[in-house]
Amino acid sequence: ILETVHVPSAGIALILGVDRILDMLRTVTNVTGDSAVATSIAASEGQLREVHPKDNKDQIKWKKGKKD
């Protein structure tokens, strides 16, 4: 089939090798864009909340003589 349209079969291997890398970049771009849009819409709707780390020093069980 490739020979009828004057495309060498060795060129297809090169194209497929390069296209795999480009496909990975397209996937990263797509996921990043989807995440950015979902985050901005959630922020505009007031559905995002701030995450604060919990201060749990009082819940830590210290070994004897190891308390800082």
pLDDT one digit per residue (tens) for the chain, 68 residues: 677 888 788 878 888 888 999 999 999 999 999 999 999 999 999 998 877 667 777 777 767 765 55
With 0.75 as the threshold, say if the pTM is over it: no
Q: In 3-state terms, what secondary structure has residue 63?
A: coil
- Give the CA distances from residue 61 to residues 38, 43, 52, 68, in Å, rounded to whole numbers and listed in that order: 41, 39, 22, 12
DSSP 38-59: HHHHHHHTT----------GGG
